[in-house]
């Protein structure tokens, strides 16, 4: 699954950059990969919560493939980084400064560091090496850092573009789903 998805993402990235090899084409790639990355992140971020609340076919499939979905997210965000690098290379210095003020670069860099840590340790050997408890804690912290980076990215844009309220609502809903207690009848039970 990951190999096919990664090949599709890389083909899309190449097609978009070759189809419009300028700053605007790279900005378009950045927007597309941001949306794809958000979707993949939300799926991986909420996989276990969905499975606990709604055990069944779809949530069981998502749990089985959560690692591949997470790696696809990392691949999509690597393509996103490629788009950002092309914007930096092709944009005028004034446009680049306007698009990415220094605080955004630090926040985005923290997100990329968290994504890289999760991707590099998304293998059974890493779990054994780190120990399950440390591995799980690291992935939990990194996932929350990535969540926060997405939230901050949406918050800074929602005033100028109210449509960013939708991904912001999805992110907030994902956090509620992930941390809402299952006890007390909130989870649907499978039919016997």
- The tens digit of pLDDT for each residue in 85-129 reads 999 899 888 877 777 676 777 888 999 999 999 999 999 999 999
Please tell me the distance from the alpha carbon of residue 105 to that of residue 113, in angstroms, as a whole number. 12
Could you identify the residue written with the tokens 């999509």?
76
- The structure's pTM equals 0.88
> How far lies 100's CA from each of 53, 85, 97, 109, in Å?
39, 12, 5, 12
Q: Are 17 and 32 in contact (CB under 8 A)?
A: no
Q: Of 96, 98, 101, whose CA–CA distance to 26 is shortest?
A: 96
pLDDT, position 29: 96
pLDDT, position 134: 95
Q: Of 112, 106, 101, 113, whose CA–CA distance to 79 is shortest?
A: 112
- The tens digit of pLDDT for each residue in 169-181 reads 999 999 999 988 7
Where helices occur in the chain by DSSP H, the ranges are 2-19, 23-53, 57-64, 66-90, 93-99, 102-120, 124-130, 132-158, 165-179
- The tens digit of pLDDT for each residue in 11-63 reads 999 999 999 999 999 999 999 999 999 999 999 999 999 999 988 899 999 99
User: What's the full length of the chain, in residues?
Assistant: 192
- Asked if the model's pLDDT at residue 190 lies above 80, the reply is no
- Asked if the model's pLDDT at residue 191 lies above 50, the reply is no
Q: Are 142 and 117 in contact (CB under 8 A)?
A: yes
Please tell me the distance from the alpha carbon of residue 170 to that of residue 155, in angstroms, as a whole number. 13
pLDDT, position 7: 95
pLDDT, position 188: 46
More confident call, 106 vs 187: 106
What would the mean pLDDT of 143-165 be, rounded to a whole number?
Answer: 95
List the Cα angle 122/83/157 in 5-degree steps: 95
pLDDT, position 182: 65
């Amino acid at each position: 699954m990951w190999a096919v998805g990664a090949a599709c993402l890389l083909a899309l990235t190449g097609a978009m950059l070759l189809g419009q090899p300028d700053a605007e084409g790279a900005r378009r790639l950045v927007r597309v990969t941001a949306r794809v990355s958000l979707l993949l992140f939300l799926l991986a971020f909420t996989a276990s919560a969905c499975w606990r609340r709604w055990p069944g076919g779809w949530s069981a499939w998502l749990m089985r493939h959560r690692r591949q979905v997470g790696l696809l997210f990392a691949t999509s965000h690597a393509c996103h980084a490629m788009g950002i690098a092309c914007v930096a290379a092709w944009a005028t210095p004034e446009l680049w400064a306007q698009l990415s003020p220094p605080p955004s670069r630090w926040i985005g860099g923290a997100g990329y560091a968290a994504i890289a840590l999760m991707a590099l340790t998304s293998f059974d050997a890493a779990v054994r090496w780190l120990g399950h408890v440390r591995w799980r804690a690291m992935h939990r912290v990194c996932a929350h850092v990535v969540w926060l980076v997405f939230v901050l990215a949406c918050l800074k844009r929602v005033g100028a573009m109210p449509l960013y309220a939708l991904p912001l609502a999805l992110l907030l809903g994902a956090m509620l789903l992930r941390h809402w207690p299952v006890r007390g009848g909130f989870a649907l039970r499978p039919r016997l």
